[in-house]
Amino acid sequence: MVDAGVIGPADGKNDLTAFRAGFVTHLHSDHVTDLSTFLVQGFIAGGRGSVESPFHLYGPGDRGALPAVFPPGRPTPTAFNPTEPTPGTASMVRQLLAAFATDVNDRIFDAGSPPVDRVVQAHEIELPAGVAVPVAGPPARMSPFTVHEDDRVRVSATLVEHGQMAPSYAYRFDSDHGSIVISGDTTLTPNLLEMADGCDVLLHEVVDQVTIEASIAALPVPEEIKEAFRNHMFGAHTTETQLKQLLRDIEVGLHVLHHVVPGELPRGGWQRVAQRLCRGTRTGVVAGRDGDVIGTR
């Protein structure tokens, strides 16, 4: 965000006051590992949020159940952190900040920083009445619902299917500048199709099946572990073939390939995939790269 000019130092001070809220799609580590740095470093010297106007973080709640063992029949392992094995966003933030208590108290006592738990407020998204948190299989069919709104933007969420990682959300951001949908990690999900239909920009994940099949086959692990990897990668993510179906089923202004796995591909890379996806559809498709400025077509 600093490199993109969205946030950065101004007059020798942190200039983060315009950054009001953040949204977590799901609690896999590759989506939240940097969160502690983002929150703790941002709070120093009052740069992120204030007691009068806190920074709000929205994300999944505690799903209340451990995932099923895969493959079925394998001995059930001992749960890690058994007293709280599936913490939601609020608990995760509380524990992350607590781990930095030495630093945080130095800032509060020695540098006059405000209490971090009043400056940063985490919220676990409440699903609409009648919609249950999925434990296994596809999420319940539902329409998008509002999770945050201010004078700049309305943010909507919907459940998507990301294997046994639940709840997992996609988000839609509607403002005077247009509409953006971010899929999060997901396989094709009817809820997402409804949310994304008609948006200006859709950022959707994609995995390359051939590359992933080869990398899993080369792993020095038992076959049942390889099958577990395949089950997750192709049951919880979206392939190029599935994206073609998505682009046939809905209309979007521009589709941006996002959260690509692997990060690089040979022979023209993901831009070649984007060109293939454009064929036979009315939607422009581009391969997103860090630092790109994306407009509609």
pLDDT digits (tens, 9 = 90+) for 65-88: 999 888 888 899 999 999 999 999
For the stretch 224-275, pLDDT in tens is 889 989 998 999 999 999 999 999 899 999 999 999 999 888 877 999 999 9
Q: What is the pLDDT of residue 7?
A: 64
Q: Residue 102: what pLDDT?
A: 95
Q: Which residue has the higher pLDDT, 41 or 271?
A: 271
- From the list 61, 60, 56, the residue with the least C-alpha distance to 149 is 56
As given in the structure block, the two tokens for residue 182 are 């971010």
CB neighbours of residue 101 within 10 Å:
11
Report the pLDDT value the prediction gives residue 48, as an integer from 0 to 100.
67
Q: Name the residue with higher pLDDT: 46 or 61.
A: 61
Listed residue (180, 187, 203) closest to 286, CA to CA: 203
pLDDT at 58: 98
pLDDT on residue 12: 52
How are strands ordered across the β-sheet holding 120-124? 21-23, 55-59, 120-124
- pLDDT tens for 205-224 read 999 999 999 999 999 999 98
The domain spans of the chain are 1-125, 132-297
Q: Token digits for 280?
A: 């036979």
pLDDT at residue number 95: 95
Q: Is the peptide bond before 222 cis (omega within 30 degrees of 0)?
A: no
Percent of all residues in the chain with a pLDDT value above 90, rounded to a whole number: 65
* CB burial string 221-247: b at 16+ within 10 A, e below: eeeeeeebbeeebbebbbbbebbeebb
Distance CA 184, CA 192 (A): 10
Q: Which of 174, 178, 177 is nearest to 146 (CA)?
A: 174
pLDDT at 14 over 80: no
Secondary structure (H, E, C), the chain: CCCCCCCEEECCEEECCCCCEEECCCCCHHHHCCHHHHHHHHHHHHCCCCCCCCEEEEECCCCCCCCCCCCCCCCCCCCCCCCCCCCCHHHHHHHHHHHCHHHHHHHHHHHCCCCHHHHEEEEECCCCCCCCCCCCCCCCCCCCEEEEECCCEEEEEEEECCCCCCCEEEEEEEECCEEEEECCCCCCCHHHHHHHCCCCEEEEEEECHHHHHHHHHCCCCCHHHHHHHHHHHHHCCCEHHHHHHHHHHCCCCEEEEEEEECCCCCCCHHHHHHHHHHCCCCCEEEECCCCCCCCCC
Structure tokens at 1: 């965000």
For the domain bounded by 132-297, which CATH number is listed? 3.60.15.10
pLDDT in tens, 142-168: 999 999 999 999 999 999 999 999 999
pLDDT tier for residue 296 given thresholds of 50, 70 and 90: low
Helix axes 240-249, 269-278, angle to 10 degrees: 40
Q: Going by DSSP bridges, is the β-strand pair 145-149/153-160 parallel, antiparallel, or unpaired?
A: antiparallel
pLDDT interval class at 41 (50, 70, 90): confident
The residue behind tokens 């949310």 is 195
